[in-house]
Amino acid sequence: MAQHSGVTFTDAIESIDGNVYDRCTFNRCRIVYSGGSLPMLNSCQFNDCNWTLSDAAERTMVFLRLLYHGMGPGGQQLVEETLKGLRQAAPPIQQ
């Protein structure tokens, strides 16, 4: 786990799994989350960045897409309820 405080990343590819970022700035970066340990993003700024899911995180998205399109109304309802839960505020995650 890497810890970054007050760092500016520019034109970088940053794999964020398990890392801590406090008051960092990301300019034109590719931010990659692979489904590993959750990153901590505290008061960071993201300017013109692209977000990418890979590995386990990408497979989770593919699985949700398969449920939604392959299981009929039941699969669509399951995915919609999952998204509804994501939209609700939740307490911070303790690591």
Supply the pLDDT for residue 91.
66
Residue 82 lies in a domain: yes
Q: Which domain holds residue 63?
A: 55-87
Residue-wise pLDDT tens digits, 64-91: 999 999 999 999 999 999 999 888 876 6
Could you tell me which residue, 88 or 40, shows the higher pLDDT?
40
Residue 94 lies in a domain: no
Supply the pLDDT for residue 89.
74
Instruction: Assess whether 22 and 44 both reside in one domain.
Output: yes
Among 50, 48, 47, 54, CA closest to 33: 54
Instruction: Assess whether 33 and 17 both reside in one domain.
Output: yes
Rg (CA), the chain: 16
Instruction: Assess whether 38 and 60 both reside in one domain.
Output: no
Could you tell me which residue, 91 or 58, shows the higher pLDDT?
58
Instruction: Assess whether 49 and 70 both reside in one domain.
Output: no
Torsional sign, CA 51, 95, 44, 16: negative
Count of domains observed in the chain? 2
